[in-house]
């Protein structure tokens, strides 16, 4: 079984990446499992730029295959915002940041009609392997932003994001459903295809 270090301190992301890649014969370990206690500064100007920064840094520190995801929400009516600043949209960090981010998003869209609330979740995956080989992949899921949070699953903007064709928010889908259709799932499927071609 191939082993990769996930360049994230986000336990939700780690669980999703692990669950999706497990079936592909890839064991994903955490930064802590790899003996790393680090926060990597994400100062790229795109999701892919940030994913590459994280994967390259973990590979540099360990010499082991590393995989990173950078993802976020792009809202049509906000010209693609919050984009790469999705996690820091409200300027908050810590336990309350998801709530504050969602409050700010609802406020920004309060006068936007239903037919103009289109949005997409984007995920960029970057993996760095020994001998310098890199694989990148992207995935998306489309939907619209609701007026109030619904659902108990997921994290981030999931309770506001109504998935096209489902009529439910991402947070109303259980993890099995989400892992089939999410932006991260779609990016990881693309990643696995490219890995298989190697």
User: Is a pLDDT exceeding 80 seen at residue 178?
Assistant: yes
Which pLDDT score, from 0 to 100, does residue 31 have? 94
User: Is a pLDDT exceeding 90 seen at residue 95?
Assistant: no
The answer regarding whether domain 2-197 maps to CATH 3.90.950.10 reads yes
What are the tens digits of pLDDT across the range 10-20? Answer: 888 898 899 88
Q: 115 and 136 in contact (C-beta within 8 Å)? A: no
Which pLDDT score, from 0 to 100, does residue 61 have? 95
For this structure, is 70 an active site residue? yes
- Considering the chain, what is the average pLDDT of its residues? 93
Which pLDDT score, from 0 to 100, does residue 179 have? 86
Average pLDDT over residues 161-173: 96
Catalytic residue among 69, 70, 98, 158: 70
**Cα–Cα distances in Å, from 100 out to 10, 93, 123, 188?**
18, 9, 22, 29
Predicted TM-score (pTM) of this structure: 0.90
Which pLDDT score, from 0 to 100, does residue 93 have? 74
């Amino acid at each position: 079984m191939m082993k990769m270090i996930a360049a994230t301190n986000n336990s939700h992301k780690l669980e999703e990446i692990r669950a999706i890649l497990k079936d592909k014969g890839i064991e994903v370990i955490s930064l802590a499992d790899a003996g790393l206690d680090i926060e990597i500064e994400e100062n790229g100007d795109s999701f892919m730029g940030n994913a590459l920064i994280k994967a390259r840094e973990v590979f540099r520190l360990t010499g082991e295959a590393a995989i990173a995801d950078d993802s976020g929400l792009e809202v049509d009516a906000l010209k693609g915002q919050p984009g790469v600043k999705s996690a820091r949209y409200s300027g908050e960090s810590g336990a309350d940041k998801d709530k504050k981010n969602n409050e700010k998003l609802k406020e920004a869209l309060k006068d936007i009609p239903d037919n103009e609330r289109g949005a997409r979740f984007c995920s960029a995956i970057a993996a760095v392997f020994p001998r310098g080989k890199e694989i990148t992949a992207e995935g998306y899921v489309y939907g619209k932003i609701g007026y109030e949070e619904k659902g108990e699953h997921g994290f981030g903007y999931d309770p506001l994001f109504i998935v096209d064709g489902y009529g439910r928010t991402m947070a109303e889908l259980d993890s099995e459903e989400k892992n089939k259709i999410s932006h991260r799932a779609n990016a990881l499927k693309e990643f696995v295809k490219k890995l298989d071609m190697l």
